[in-house]
Amino acid sequence: MHIYIRFILLWLLVAPVSAMADKLPSGDEIANRVNARDEGVAVARNLTMQMTDRRGKTRTRKTRGFRKYYGDEKRTVIFYLEPSNVKDTAFLTWDYPDIDKDDDQWLYLPAMRKVRRISASDRGDYFLGTDLTYEDIKLETRISIDDYKRRTIGEDKVDGHHCYLLESIPVDDETARELGYGKVEQCVDNKIWMVRRARFWDIRGKPLKTAYFRDIRQVQGIWTQHRIEVENHKTGHRTLFLFSDVDYRQGVSDTLFTQRALRRGL
Amino acid sequence: MALPAFGAEIDSSHVLSTRTAFGIEETGTQLLDLSWQPRVQWRFEDGGRLTGIARLRFQQEPGTRPGDIERGSYTSVSRPALIGDTAELDLREFYYERSLGDWYLTLGKQQVVWGKSDGLKVLDVVNPQSFREFILEDFDQSRIPLWIVNGEYAYTDQSGNDWTLQLLWIPDQTYHALPKPGATYAFTSPRLVPKAPSGIVTQLNDPQRPDRIIRDSDVGLRLTGFVGGWDLSLNYLYQYYNQPVLHQKLNPGGIVTITPRYHRTHVFGGTFSRAFGDWVARGELGYFSNRYFLTENLHDDDGIAQSAELSYVLGIDWSGMTDTFISAQLFQSRLTNDQTGFTRPEVDTSFTFLARRMFWNDTLTTEVLWIVNTHDGDGLIRPKLSYDLDDNLEVWLGLDVFYGNHQGLFGQFADNDRVLLGVKLGL
């Protein structure tokens, strides 16, 4: 009898958890919910990047950026404002929905006085000295559907917010090499469908970096992250992105997403 | 720093830099250069901007001082002011720019950069260049800004392709600034300067330069577009070629006078670039209708002969490895006049190779550039190591090694190999 009571108690404890796990949305469902979130057709914002090495030395970059959707095509431009040695550097991306079509990217370096076409395939390269890759920057708050297979592995809390744990594995070795990641684990807030934390492993399976997405609040009705903290566990290097003056309504001119605009600056 | 003033917002910045070069073959300091470059920009409420960039340079070492280049190639409104023997003050750029409907106007002293090549130039000939340090100085610093009326008209065609038509009117008759004979980087290659036979006395006259503001001005036109993934441009320039032609004349008494003159040429050209995965292919082509070159043809009475010149560059960039950039370029220049006797080859071929790798989150940059001329077998190798000590402070160490015989473009400076140390501070 005593054994039966124990068994019943154990069943009462486990059954709800098991049932809850069965109720967790699938990885693809979570990714689709994240990607369906309203990001606004266009946005203008300031971005301050602080990069700190393992000895504590910090470099700061101030930029103004713009992003606009043209249907499923996304165009992004970033203009560097400070410090003086990178001032007027500008970076433009046209990101196409067709996965077989490479993005078009251009970089303006003021010392060269030329807009230079750059290869878009090095998406695992770190973006201008930060701990985020070109691919991370391009995705913003979205999740890449085609590059990974994903599954929901549980639940967690980040900064007091409940979230689903989403594990993503690159679809093949070549994609893993391109991205520089062997595995990504994201904690997705199930109320606002935004990533609160992302952990990255390198292609050898070793912990690579952790990113926290904080100070998430609504701007003009759109949930917006204002702070991204990234720590690279291999190098000890850290990056802090601070967004300010975020504006989805001011209207972003199409002429900003041209090579002419890169040359002229803001 | 931004301050509101007179309905305008003023933004200013400064760059302080030093470069010190030590000769390797000819030991001692080859170059001591201290530069202050302030930049001020006024932003007006109507969207217009006025930008001024000045440069005050102290250049201590004989052979590379401000007075060691031919200053007669500048117009009076573009010529830097000499301050004693070792300093010059230059209004580098001063222009007003604003949109006007579909037009964007840039009026004033400015740099207009055409072309897709690195290290050597084909279409980047709108502005002349100072050869005080041959091609070793950064082009941004050695390019001579001109007073230009620059209008750009933007439009989108029915297929959604973006085009820009640029029109240039250049009334400023400033040309290449060449080192004086005896200067550290004075030209001595027979490709560029005539050699007098022994016993013959030569006399260099003042250059005969165009000086009519309207009739002698240059005009340019460029159409750029992005079509089907290709960046394309068509270029046209009607200019006085920036390098003077050295007309020679044998006078009674056995004295040869050399008179530098500038000649008009049409320049027709185009550029392309496109990314293919890890690769970027790019190129440019320029056809110069009327060039003059030194000749040793005994039937020629002034030591120069005319030919059209076709120059082109094909380049390939590769960035398939993290933080690494590798680039190779083929340059070729062909003369259409097949007469023998030119001191330069009818077909002149050069290659460039550039490898660059960044470390420590882009704070440490290592690179090496190699330029080789296949005709003369000479070249230039330039390794460089630079480190960002701080947001605004960069230090770098470089080496410039020329090799080959003294007849070649690069070999003529084979005794000028140098080690450089540079510091750049932005404020």
CB atoms within 10 A of CB B20: 18
> For A114, which residue in chain B has the nearest alpha carbon?
B113
CB contact under 8 A, A51 and B392: no
Strand B201-204 versus strand B255-261 pairing type? parallel
Q: Which amino acid is at A216?
A: I
> For A132, which residue in chain B has the nearest alpha carbon?
B361
- φ, ψ for residue A256, nearest 5 deg: -70, -25
Q: Which of B118, B122, B361 to mutate to test the interface with A (most CBs of A within 10 A)?
A: B361
d(CA A209, CA A232) in angstroms, rounded, equals: 4
Task: Provide, as residue numbers in chain A, all residues whose Cβ is less than 8 Å from the Cβ of B317.
Answer: 118-119
What pLDDT is attached to residue A144?
Answer: 86
Average per-residue pLDDT in chain A? 88
CB contact under 8 A, A129 and B361: yes
- Please check whether residue A122 is in contact with residue B320, taking contact to mean a CB–CB distance below 8 angstroms: yes
CB contact under 8 A, B392 and A85: yes
Task: Provide, as residue numbers in chain B, all residues whose Cβ is less than 8 Å from the Cβ of A179.
Answer: none
Task: Please say whether the dihedral angle defined by the alpha carbons of residues A4, A7, A13 and A17, taken in this order, is positive or negative.
Answer: negative
What pLDDT is attached to residue B178?
Answer: 94
If residue A79 lies in a helix (H) or strand (E), which one and from where to where?
strand A73-82
- What percentage of chain A carries pLDDT values higher than 70? 91
Q: B66: cis peptide before it, omega within 30°?
A: no
CB pairs under 8 A between A and B: 105
CB contact under 8 A, B426 and A84: yes
Give residue B370's domain range: 2-426
B97 touching chain A per CB within 8 A? yes
Which one of A51, A87, A258 has the shortest CB-CB distance to B162? A258
d(CA B152, CA B110) in angstroms, rounded, equals: 14
A256 touching chain B per CB within 8 A? no
Q: Which CATH superfamily is domain A25-264 in?
A: Lipoprotein localisation LolA/LolB/LppX (2.50.20.10)
What pLDDT is attached to residue A9?
Answer: 54
What pLDDT is attached to residue A14?
Answer: 47
Task: Provide, as residue numbers in chain B, all residues whose Cβ is less than 8 Å from the Cβ of A117.
Answer: 231, 273-275, 280, 282
Residues 363-392 of B with CB under 8 A from A: 363, 388, 390-392
Task: Provide, as residue numbers in chain A, all residues whose Cβ is less than 8 Å from the Cβ of B51.
Answer: none
Alpha-carbon Rg for chain B, nearest whole angstrom, is 22
Strand B378-388 versus strand B279-294 pairing type? unpaired
What pLDDT is attached to residue A97?
Answer: 84
Tokens (6 digits) for B160: 């959604």
- Please check whether residue B210 is in contact with residue B173, taking contact to mean a CB–CB distance below 8 angstroms: yes
A37 touching chain B per CB within 8 A? no
Residues 266-295 of B with CB under 8 A from A: 273-280, 282
State the nearest Cα–Cα gap between B405 and chain A, in angstroms: 31
DSSP state letters, B244-275: PEEEEEEETTTEEEEEEE--EEEEEEEEEEEE
The CATH number that applies at residue B125 is: 2.40.160.10
Tally of domains within chain B = 1
CB contact under 8 A, A117 and B280: yes
B102 touching chain A per CB within 8 A? no
CB contact under 8 A, A51 and B394: no
Task: Provide, as residue numbers in chain A, all residues whose Cβ is less than 8 Å from the Cβ of B363.
Answer: 53, 59, 129
Burial of A66 (0-12, 13-18, 19+ CB in 10 A): buried
CB contact under 8 A, B231 and A259: yes
If residue A27 lies in a helix (H) or strand (E), which one and from where to where?
helix A27-36
d(CA A62, CA B171) in angstroms, rounded, equals: 38
What percentage of chain A's residues is helix, strand, coil (to nearest 5)? 20, 45, 30
Which one of A111, A118, A180 has the shortest CB-CB distance to B138? A111
What percentage of chain B's residues is helix, strand, coil (to nearest 5)? 5, 60, 40
Asked if pLDDT for residue A1 goes beyond 60, the answer is no
- Give the ipTM of the model, two decimals please: 0.90
Task: Provide, as residue numbers in chain A, all residues whose Cβ is less than 8 Å from the Cβ of B282.
Answer: 117
Average of pLDDT values for A87-112? Answer: 89
**DSSP SS3 for A142:** coil
Tens-of-pLDDT digits for all 427 residues of chain B? 444 445 678 999 999 999 999 999 877 899 999 999 999 999 999 889 999 999 999 998 889 898 899 888 999 999 999 998 899 999 999 999 999 988 999 999 999 999 999 988 999 999 999 999 999 999 999 999 999 999 999 998 888 888 999 999 999 999 999 999 899 999 999 889 888 777 778 888 888 889 898 999 999 999 999 998 999 999 999 999 999 999 988 888 778 888 999 999 999 999 999 999 889 999 999 999 999 998 887 677 788 889 999 999 999 999 888 889 999 999 999 999 877 788 889 999 999 999 999 998 889 999 999 999 999 999 999 999 999 998 899 999 999 999 999 999 999 999 999 999 999 999 8
Q: What angle do CA B178, B183, B189 make, to 5 degrees?
A: 70
Task: Provide, as residue numbers in chain B, all residues whose Cβ is less than 8 Å from the Cβ of A125.
Answer: 319, 322-323
d(CA B267, CA B235) in angstroms, rounded, equals: 8
Average of pLDDT values for A49-62? Answer: 93
**DSSP SS3 for A6:** helix
Q: Which amino acid is at A2?
A: H
CB contact under 8 A, B275 and A259: no
What pLDDT is attached to residue B325?
Answer: 92
Domain range summary for chain A, segments of one domain joined by +: 25-264
Average of pLDDT values for A141-167? Answer: 92
- Please check whether residue B344 is in contact with residue B407, taking contact to mean a CB–CB distance below 8 angstroms: no
List all residues 6 or more positions away from B49 whose beta carbon is below 8 Å from its beta carbon. B41, B42, B43, B96, B97, B98
**DSSP SS3 for A186:** strand
Question: What is the pTM (predicted TM-score) of this model?
Answer: 0.89
Which one of A60, A85, A260 has the shortest CB-CB distance to B154? A260
Most confident of A19-23, A240-244, B201-205: A240-244
* Higher per-residue confidence, A1 vs B107: B107
d(CA B340, CA B288) in angstroms, rounded, equals: 20
